[in-house]
Amino acid sequence: MKKIFRKLSGGRVSIFKIENRRGYAALCMQNLTEGRSPVQAFQRMAKALKRKGYELTGKVPRPR
């Protein structure tokens, strides 16, 4: 049986530069992921949300 994912806009993800460290972090729905670039942090967040039953759609938001 195919699993049905709920759609989630990429705009709900907050990406920011981590202070005193190299890289970026993504925060969404009580999940936190890290990556060397904003794109990598977003991709890791997509994978984390997929485990919860959500699918990210849209583009990578700009870091704050």
- What pLDDT, in 10s, does the model give residues 16-37? 999 999 999 999 999 999 999 9
Q: What is the pLDDT of residues 43-58, one digit of tens each?
A: 999 999 999 999 999 9
Domain presence at residue 63: no
**What CA–CA distance (Å, rounded) separates 62 from 53?**
24
Global pTM?
0.91
**What CA–CA distance (Å, rounded) separates 60 from 62?**
7
Domain presence at residue 62: no
Tell me the one-letter amino acid at 38.
P
Domain presence at residue 35: yes
What's the domain range around 43? 6-57
**Residue 16's beta-bridge partner residues?**
25
Domain presence at residue 33: yes
Domain presence at residue 64: no
Domain presence at residue 45: yes
If one counts the domains in the chain, the total is 1
